[in-house]
Amino acid sequence: MKRLGVFIGGNGSNLEAILEAIQRQELPMVCVGVISHNDHVQGIQRAKRFGVPVKVVPHASFSTRESFEAELLKETRALKPDVIALAGFMRLLSARFIEQVNVPILNIHPSLLPKYPGLHPHQQALDNHDAFTGATVHLVNEKMDDGHILAQAQVPVLAEDTKESLSQRVLRVEHKLYVEVLKWIAADRV
């Protein structure tokens, strides 16, 4: 079974969806560890509830990206992952880090990329009166929300939507989409 590492930075609802799918034996992977770049976030508690080991590499206590990534690399190598899923991990990774890790790194983003990379994608979809937005799972490169797209799912934008209602609807779809793509990876279909 493939060894999955998950990098988080916040709430961890995608992490929980992945861990639930593993627990239900719907996703044949083993989650070997979670690394958070923020301390005291909900995602850490969620991982612990599933008995998954957690390391915190707090980006704010490193003075340079190089020193942060050196520590992140050390903790990542210790997990010996076959694949890494970013789930709310809000740091850009350098080309050097990606090369050194040398396993596929996936990310999920709440828009139909290449539309609305970066922050506030839901607000942008609302401001532009888009009829649809969605979620994208893509391979990670050194640019923001930019790598090769593996899968996308559409979500309707409703007239009465607020940023909160829309992001909740997108998030429910993210949880399904991320697990689906990881199943393809588990089956060597990517």
Binding site for ligand GRF (CB under 6 A): 10-15, 43, 87-88, 108-110, 171, 174
70 vs 123, which CB is nearer to ligand GRF? 123
Instruction: Please confirm, yes or no, whether 109 is among the known catalytic residues.
Output: yes
86 vs 98, which CB is nearer to ligand GRF? 86
By DSSP bridging, strand 132-139 and strand 149-156 are antiparallel
Indicate which residue of 37, 40, 59, 109 is catalytic. 109
Q: Are 117 and 111 in contact (CB under 8 A)?
A: yes
* C-alpha separations of 75 from 7, 11, 35, 72, 151 in Å: 11, 21, 8, 5, 28
Least CB distance to ligand GRF at residue 85 (A): 10
Chain center to CA of 124: 20
Angle between the N-to-C axes of helices 13-23 and 163-186, in degrees from 0 to 180, rounded to the nearest 10: 40
Q: Which residue is nearest to ligand GRF (CB)?
A: 88
11 vs 152, which CB is nearer to ligand GRF? 11
Least CB distance to ligand GRF at residue 122 (A): 9
Least CB distance to ligand GRF at residue 170 (A): 7
Least CB distance to ligand GRF at residue 104 (A): 17
Q: Per-residue DSSP letters for 126-189? A: HHTT-SEEEEEEEE--SSTT-S-EEEEEEEEPPTT--HHHHHHHHHHHHHHHHHHHHHHHHTT-
41 vs 70, which CB is nearer to ligand GRF? 41
- Residues annotated as catalytic are 109
